[in-house]
Amino acid sequence: MTQPAVSSVLPPAPAGIMPFIVRYSGEVPLPVRLGRDRVRGRLRYADETRSDRDHWGTLWERVALPPKGQRGDPRPEEVHPYRQRRAMLDLWCQICKRPVDPDYGGPYLFLHRGGGEPLAEGTTTDKPPVHLVCSAVSVQLCPRLRGCFAGAWVEHVPTWGVKGAFYHPETLDLHQADAVVPLESPYRRWTIASSTVVELQGVTPLTAADLEAEWARLGRERLEREFERISRLAVAA
């Protein structure tokens, strides 16, 4: 059954909110020259710096970070690698940038596109968590969730791997543009990551009806107040 585009328990999301992780037209990939690190047996940038790798040693895509007023137009279907990585590392809400649980005790709320199987134990995802209130914004504004969403409360979210461009170890030619690579895979050495992938552990699935019940418990007046607050935070993020 097709879900309604917007839940009847929700006030309309404020116009103009852009999730923290969204990429903008001015945040273009920066030119790089690829090479082979023969000592470590991995892909490298010719002018590589320490900031090009995460603490697992994974090479990351270089993308422009212009000042906020010079980012250009938002591209809601695209994610900025640096902001996605920070959101996953620190468990920030992908909408408002604030920690989803300052004490890191969980559980954490994750959303996904509904209509298929519910989120299950061991599912992997590169979509950062959200606050419960921010989830009510997401399902109205996110193109991939609008009209078809579900979610889960999750106890633990260890890093599982990365998603990015995999290059052939021998030729250094692009082999797969959108590869999903576990941390323990030797192919990670030849991948330029664009997002962090986590594994969901201690999963309690939530249907769209479950989420609507959670929002209803908050009440429409509180949701309206929180939407105004989120709007201000999103502008400042």
pLDDT at 210: 92
pTM for the full predicted model: 0.90
* Cβ-proximal residues to 229 (8 Å cutoff; 6+ apart), any chain: none
pLDDT of 1 reads: 36
- Provide the residue ranges of all domains of the chain, joining segments of one domain with +: 22-27+53-236
Name the DSSP letter for residue 126. -
Identify the CA nearest to 160 among candidates 111, 127, 125, 128: 125
- Segments in the chain below pLDDT 70: 1-8, 116, 234-237
Per-residue model confidence (pLDDT) at position 7: 53
CA distance 169 to 69: 40
Q: pLDDT tens, 120-135?
A: 999 999 999 999 999 9
pLDDT confidence of residue 60:
98
Cβ-Cβ contacts under 8 Å for 131 (sequence gap 6 or more) = 93, 95, 96, 98, 100, 109
